[in-house]
Amino acid sequence: MTLAQTNYQPPFNITRASHLVLTSCDLAKARDFYTDPAIFERDMERMLLRHWFCAGHVSSIPRAGDYLVVDLGTESLIIIRNSAGEVRALLNVCRHRGSRLCAARSGKAQSARLTCPYHAWTYDLDGKLLIARQMPESFRRDDIALKTLPVRIMEGLIFTTFAKDPLDLGIAADALARSAGVHSWATAKVAHRELYSIRANWKLAVENYVECYHCTPAHPEFSKRHVYARPAEQNVELERADARGPKRSASWCPTSTDMDARPEPAGNPSPSCAAPCTTESSAPRTTADRSRA
């Protein structure tokens, strides 16, 4: 997901973002945009591998050695907490002959070590090579470590990037602080994670996710509480309130029709936030790993 673009203006509330989508007159792109392998390669190079992306939430790896495996295209990453309690992003590629180190999607490194299943080279939680059997005397173990990627934690979300020169995250950090911050994502915990594959290009999934033009016809129950269910003048009022910058309660949800920001019962997230945003008929068709914190 692209959170860092040099000219990106964050949609701080969903009302404004939806308005932009609604007033856009973009029609369907040519089929090649979604099916051409050459265009997909370009997507990977210029977008997905260039920008920062969210690899998970810190609550998923609370203890030293806990890890998540995150795949992006042909790349695979180990997001792991090291012995000092810091989050590291290590390439899931052994430096010996390139085997995948971790096959499971998540787990715990036994004895604070990652051991390659192929020839048993062993690394510490920062990726430093500890053990390599039967190597010649000239072998310099200290010079070898797993490749690492930069990590940035924002509101409890773990971001990393494959870019050689990572893009600035200032705007994204500000947007997240103002959106996820009011919901206390930094101290939230992942209660359930669902993975599902969508047989379509990734851009369809993103396009569907960032617009709610489809919500009223495709998700009538969800839309009963959605911003479009209330009179337009109330939305204008809400935007004015946002412009004044009041601190909203953690239970406030910009897609809710509830203008009073009434607290939700404990453990019960705002229904409009919890509702899924795809249906069988309108679901994008791409392989995606979407999880909700």
Chain residues binding ligand FES by CB under 6 A are: 94, 96-97, 99, 116, 118-121
In the block, tokens 């509330």 appear at 13
Of residues 81, 99, 97, the one with CA closest to residue 89: 81
Half-sphere exposure of 12 (CA within 13 A, CB side): 18
Nearer to ligand FES, 119 or 262 (CB): 119
Asked if residue 207 lies in contact with residue 278, where contact means CB atoms within 8 angstroms, the answer is no
Nearer to ligand FES, 99 or 234 (CB): 99
**Parallel, antiparallel, or unpaired for β 157-160 and 53-57?**
antiparallel
Nearer to ligand FES, 8 or 118 (CB): 118
Smallest separation, CB 245 to ligand FES (Å): 53
Nearer to ligand FES, 42 or 113 (CB): 113
Smallest separation, CB 74 to ligand FES (Å): 17
Asked if residue 249 lies in contact with residue 255, where contact means CB atoms within 8 angstroms, the answer is no
* DSSP string covering 57-109: EGGGS-STTEEEEEEETTEEEEEEE-TTS-EEEEESS-TTT---S--SSEEE-
Q: For residues 130 and 137, what is the distance between their CA atoms, to the nearest angstrom? A: 15
Nearer to ligand FES, 97 or 105 (CB): 97
SS3 128: strand
SS3 224: coil
Smallest separation, CB 122 to ligand FES (Å): 9
Q: For residues 78 and 70, what is the distance between their CA atoms, to the nearest angstrom? A: 6
Smallest separation, CB 199 to ligand FES (Å): 32
Smallest separation, CB 121 to ligand FES (Å): 4
Smallest separation, CB 99 to ligand FES (Å): 4
Nearer to ligand FES, 46 or 119 (CB): 119
